[in-house]
């Protein structure tokens, strides 16, 4: 089972590494990163370079395509060759998925036209500009297309995907092994819950 995650400079670390950690435990699965030019790919903070040896163009098919976000999504959206590759790969995937602003990439590739979808709340207008209907849910599935909201929601999506690729008991075992049992100290993880001053502070984090 081949799971492919494209990485470009300025990717959001948890967008990619969260699902990588979960899906790596799916029986029979191989999770690998691809990029445009093999070598070190920098995360958005610049302190966690990942060596990626494979060009995305070398991949002709995979079982799962998972597109993460972060600042890298702009590079992907503005690269017509990459978007054409996404469409080509999607034609034969079991599942095509996204985390955070990776959803905008799927939209730019024409995969979300007319569908409800989610992304990081700040990117909702861009998602809708590509024909999707932004919906403030953590994970949304339409058959084999799955989008997840901002950053940490990729772990939720990956656990659900693990169940689809194996079975519910296996997915729950992976959740237990990774002790994914969120108990955040604050209830401010969505626009619907966060006070105005928290929303304003969050806008300044980038």
Residue 24 near residue 16 (C-beta atoms within 8 A): no
What is the C-alpha to C-alpha distance for residues 118 and 137, in angstroms, rounded to an integer?
6
pLDDT tens figures, 39-79:
999 999 999 999 999 999 999 999 999 999 999 999 999 99
Percent of the chain with pLDDT over 90: 100
Q: Which residues have a catalytic role annotated?
A: 100
Neighbours of 21 (CB within 10 A): 16
pLDDT at 206: 72
């Amino acid at each position: 089972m081949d799971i492919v995650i494209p990485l470009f400079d300025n990717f959001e670390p948890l967008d990619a590494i969260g699902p990588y950690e979960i899906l790596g435990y799916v029986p029979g699965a191989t999770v690998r990163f691809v990029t445009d030019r093999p070598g070190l790919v920098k995360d958005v903070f610049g302190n966690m370079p990942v060596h990626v040896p494979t060009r995305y163009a070398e991949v002709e098919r995979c079982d799962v395509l998972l597109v993460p976000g972060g600042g890298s999504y702009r590079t992907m959206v503005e690269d017509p060759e990459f978007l054409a590759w996404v469409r080509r790969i999607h034609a034969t995937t079991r599942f095509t998925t996204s985390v955070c602003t990776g959803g905008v990439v799927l939209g730019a590739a024409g995969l979300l036209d007319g569908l409800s979808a989610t992304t990081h709340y700040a990117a909702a207008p861009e998602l809708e500009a590509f024909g999707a209907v932004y919906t403030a849910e953590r994970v949304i599935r339409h058959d084999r297309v799955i989008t997840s909201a901002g950053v940490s929601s990729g772990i939720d999506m990956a656990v659900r995907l693990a169940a689809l690729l194996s079975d519910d008991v296996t997915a729950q075992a992976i959740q237990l092994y990774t002790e994914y049992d969120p108990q955040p100290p604050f209830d401010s993880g969505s626009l619907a819950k966060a006070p105005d001053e928290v929303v304003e502070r969050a806008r300044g984090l980038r």
